[in-house]
Amino acid sequence: MSLKQVKTEEKNKAVLEITIPKDVFDAEVMKVYKKQVGKITIPGFRKGKAPKPIIEKMYGKGVFYEDALNALLPGVLEEAVQEAGIEAVSQPELDLGDIDENGVALTATYYTKPNLKLKAYKGLKAEKTVKKVTAEEVKAELARVQERNSRTIEVTDRAAAMDDVAVIDYEGFIGSEPFQGGKDEGHHLRLGSGQFIPGFEEQIVGHKIGDAFDVTVTFPENYHAEELKGKEAVFKVALNGIEHIELPALDDEFAKDVSEFDTLDEYKKDIRAKIEKRNEEDAEHQVEEQLLNALIENIEGDIPECMFDTECDNMLRDYENRLAQQGLSMETYLQYTGMTLPKMKEEFKPQAEKQVKAQLALEVIAKEEKFEISDEEIEAEYKRVSEAYQIEPEKAKEFIARELIQKDVAARKAVELLKSSAEITEKAEEKKPAAKKAPAKKAPAEKKETATKKETAAKKPAAKKTTKKTADKE
């Protein structure tokens, strides 16, 4: 490969004029001929025995050129980029010139990494607000643990009520026609969970096992399936079973079961401490976000649009991988949400721009500060990545280039410098105004008969118990 010239007529754009020597190209063409000759039939020659000049005469002199170029170009372009000393941030736009006695002439046009400057990166300002832990948050966390450690009791002697799990078969119809995705059997639906269309779950309440009935609902105007928006639907429902979720009592025994603590008070204190730690981490993250936003505002220079497009594509691939881990394909996701890939990319664009700008700005800081990254720091980062993705460190080294790990460590150092040199103001959490309570109304005296009914309803239903334990220890 011969790099004849590098032109930089436009900012962040390089045009490389390249020549592939004739002997190198001819040798690659011969390799292609030898690979393909066995598949070529020429009258008068046994299959695989036709001479190269005869094949070229019949199919054209350039019959093997495309495959030869495809084989040579990756190495040729990589070598040219290195020799030119540019950092390409795009795929090349190729323009093939003459193929003659001098070899192959071509030009490769790349967008290059911009040379940015920062007006300032020390002394940036941010506010830090650490959210205080409330009793409601501790209570909510306890409720979540209760839910995870609940057990299911089969109910046989009463109608379905809110918070029960109804085991149902159903099929939905628009008019007299069933619609796609509107049918299931043996579905477990927590009544009051809001999983189904508004009004669906409430209409199951009051029915008993064995009942078959209609549920009439109207799809919301913003429903994801275009053909169902605003339509009235009738679901044929059969109630096959009722299950009651029984929560464990909140006591010392519960604490022993779900934690390493002996008392509920100790467990509550631990929950509070963990929430406090999480709130502190969230506050630190918000400070970083503010500083990065301020840093981005201080960028001087132009960034090629292709860098934002590439980041959008990366985000789409990451999203598709996360969907796959949940057993969903991108095609299915788009179908159910009514989204399109261009629309998703457009929604990712602002975040992609922010991430590219922040990364470039942090690289400027790392360069200005002349950060030195030790082997120990790189090994520690490989270990962190391997633990995050649950793979062996050696596997992480296969997948992630050392240069990328080095950049990540340098970027983190730049963030720490931003924070250590910033003016951070501690700010108290703003208290939300308490909601006004409606004036209490004096309740009318209840008849004894009504009270008796309430007492009866409050009693636990006779139930056939099962041993379905739905959770593990936290």
Which stretches of 129-176 are assigned E, i.e. beta strand?
A: 151-155, 165-174
What pLDDT does 1 receive? 57
CATH number of the domain where residue 96 is located: 3.30.70.1050
Answer yes or no: is 306 within a domain.
yes
Q: How far apart are CA 388 and CA 125, in angstroms?
A: 32
The predicted model scores a pTM of: 0.70
**Residue 50 sits in the same domain as residue 171:** no
Q: List the one residue out of 111, 117, 78, 82 whose CA is nearest residue 307.
A: 111
Strand partners, 15: 7, 109
What pLDDT does 172 receive? 94
What pLDDT does 266 receive? 97
What pLDDT does 2 receive? 67
**Residue 107 sits in the same domain as residue 170:** no
Domain hosting residue 96, numbered range: 2-113
Q: List the one residue out of 2, 471, 16 whose CA is nearest residue 246.
A: 471
**Residue 375 sits in the same domain as residue 305:** yes
Answer yes or no: is 209 within a domain.
yes
Taking a C-beta distance cutoff of 8 angstroms, is the pair 9, 89 a contact?
A: no
CATH number of the domain where residue 326 is located: 1.10.3120.10
3-state secondary structure of 128: strand
Answer yes or no: is 34 within a domain.
yes
Place of tokens 């969903």: 328
**Residue 284 sits in the same domain as residue 364:** yes
**Residue 309 sits in the same domain as residue 354:** yes
Answer yes or no: is 179 within a domain.
yes
Answer yes or no: is 319 within a domain.
yes
CATH number of the domain where residue 216 is located: 3.10.50.40
- Per-residue pLDDT for the chain (474 aa), expressed as one digit of tens each? 567 667 776 789 999 999 999 999 999 999 999 999 888 888 888 888 889 999 889 899 899 999 999 999 999 999 999 999 999 999 999 999 999 888 999 999 999 999 999 999 999 999 999 999 999 999 999 999 999 999 999 999 999 999 999 999 999 999 999 998 899 999 999 999 988 999 999 999 999 999 999 999 999 998 888 888 899 999 999 999 999 999 999 999 999 999 999 999 999 999 999 999 999 999 999 999 999 999 999 999 999 999 999 999 999 999 999 999 888 899 988 888 888 999 999 999 999 999 999 999 999 999 999 999 999 999 999 999 899 888 888 888 988 999 999 999 999 999 999 999 999 999 888 766 654 444 433 333 333 333 333 333 333 333 333 333 333 433
Backbone angles phi, psi at 463, to 5 degrees: -145, 150
**Residue 199 sits in the same domain as residue 339:** no
What pLDDT does 319 receive? 93
Q: List the one residue out of 231, 234, 223 whose CA is nearest residue 336.
A: 223
Give the count of domains, the chain. Answer: 3
Answer yes or no: is 415 within a domain.
yes
Q: List the one residue out of 27, 25, 47 whose CA is nearest residue 37.
A: 47
